């Protein structure tokens, strides 16, 4: 990774005294980021949605451990996107990350996946949209700079018109409306503003979202970490 966040990520690894790992599994593809496995190195991998998620993640991370000689127990932190997004992807990502964290006794933090999307889109005022089905969207507004990703409108479930009105109520100029949804055409068809389809998601952004907590060693309770679905799944609604 050669983007604006790379130097900050390497500084975080130095502050924490060792390598860091981030995963983002809420979208159509999976993104992983390994920081400091080798001195001065930030590595990102994108795993196609066509791959079996748990197997692909395991093989990719095992490959990085083998390539660099880093042991899982040497990790100083794991950061994971908790959603909202794909129910299956979130469950797979959390199960894998928790298993690694428990097995190697590594602390873990969860962050908003919409914040990761926003940071992946570039600097500016980034409004993120994902299809929540039944005519609704998951949406949030973030201010992204070269050093942080800050929520202006927190993650929520909206109708498209209500989300546009809420975002515009903040009085921000030059808003970029983005989605990384696999159903980008569906999102655009129901959305009243032009939407940019994001081609690539960067798990590295998860470190920037979590940077203050990482630097302060404010880690999450592994038992309490759960996906941020924001709404019930189809299967859950069928049993209500």
Total-model pTM: 0.93
CA distance 212 to 151: 14
Number of domains in the chain: 2
Q: What pLDDT band is residue 231 in, cutting at 50, 70 and 90?
A: confident
Find the CATH number of the domain harbouring 10: 3.30.420.40
Find the CATH number of the domain harbouring 192: 3.30.420.200
pLDDT digits (tens, 9 = 90+) for 69-105: 999 999 999 999 999 999 999 999 999 999 999 999 9
pLDDT digits (tens, 9 = 90+) for 167-217: 999 999 999 999 999 889 999 999 999 999 998 899 999 999 999 999 999
CA distance 32 to 192: 33
172 lies in some domain: yes
15 lies in some domain: yes
Mean pLDDT of 119-136: 96
Q: What pLDDT band is residue 110 in, cutting at 50, 70 and 90?
A: very high
- Domain limits for position 85: 6-113+202-238
pLDDT at 4: 66
In the predicted structure, residue 42 carries a pLDDT above the cut 70: yes
Q: What pLDDT band is residue 38 in, cutting at 50, 70 and 90?
A: very high
Instruction: Write the DSSP assignment of 205-220 as a string of letters.
Output: HHHHHTHHHHHTT---
Q: Residue 153 in 3-state DSSP? A: strand
Residues 28 and 94 in one domain: yes
Q: Which of 44, 4, 54 is nearest to 20 (CA)?
A: 44
Residues 75 and 193 in one domain: no
Residues 154 and 232 in one domain: no
Residues 15 and 102 in one domain: yes
Q: What pLDDT band is residue 63 in, cutting at 50, 70 and 90?
A: very high
Question: Any bridge partners for residue 197, and if so which?
Answer: 179
56 lies in some domain: yes
CA distance 138 to 78: 25
In the predicted structure, residue 235 carries a pLDDT above the cut 70: no
1 lies in some domain: no
pLDDT at 78: 98
Residues 107 and 125 in one domain: no
Residues 193 and 206 in one domain: no
83 lies in some domain: yes
Mean pLDDT of 151-174: 97
Residues 193 and 225 in one domain: no
Within a 13 Å sphere around the CA of 149, how many CA atoms are in the beta-carbon half? 30
Residues 6+ apart with CB under 8 A from 85: 26, 27, 113, 130, 138
């Amino acid at each position: 990774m050669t983007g604006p966040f790379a130097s900050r990520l390497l500084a975080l690894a130095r502050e924490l005294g060792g390598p860091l790992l981030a995963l983002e599994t809420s979208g159509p593809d999976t993104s992983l980021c390994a920081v400091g496995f080798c001195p001065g190195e930030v590595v990102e991998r994108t795993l196609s949605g066509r791959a079996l998620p748990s197997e692909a993640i395991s093989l990719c991370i095992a490959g990085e451990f083998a390539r660099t000689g880093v042991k899982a127990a040497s990790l100083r932190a794991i950061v994971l996107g908790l959603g909202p997004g794909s129910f299956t992807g979130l469950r797979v990502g959390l199960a894998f990350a928790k298993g690694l964290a428990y097995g190697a006794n590594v602390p873990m933090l969860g962050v908003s996946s919409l914040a990761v999307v926003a940071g992946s889109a570039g600097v500016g005022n980034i409004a993120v949209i994902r299809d929540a089905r039944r005519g609704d969207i998951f949406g949030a507004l973030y201010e992204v700079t070269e050093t942080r990703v800050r929520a202006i409108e927190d993650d929520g479930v909206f109708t498209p018109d209500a989300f546009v009105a809420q975002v515009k109520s903040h009085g921000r100029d030059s808003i970029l409306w983005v989605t990384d949804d696999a159903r980008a055409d569906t999102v655009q068809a129901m959305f009243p503003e032009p939407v940019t389809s994001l081609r690539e998601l960067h798990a590295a952004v998860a470190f920037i979202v979590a940077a203050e907590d990482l630097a302060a060693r404010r880690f999450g309770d592994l038992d309490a970490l759960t996906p941020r679905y924001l709404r019930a799944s189809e299967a859950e609604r069928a049993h209500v």
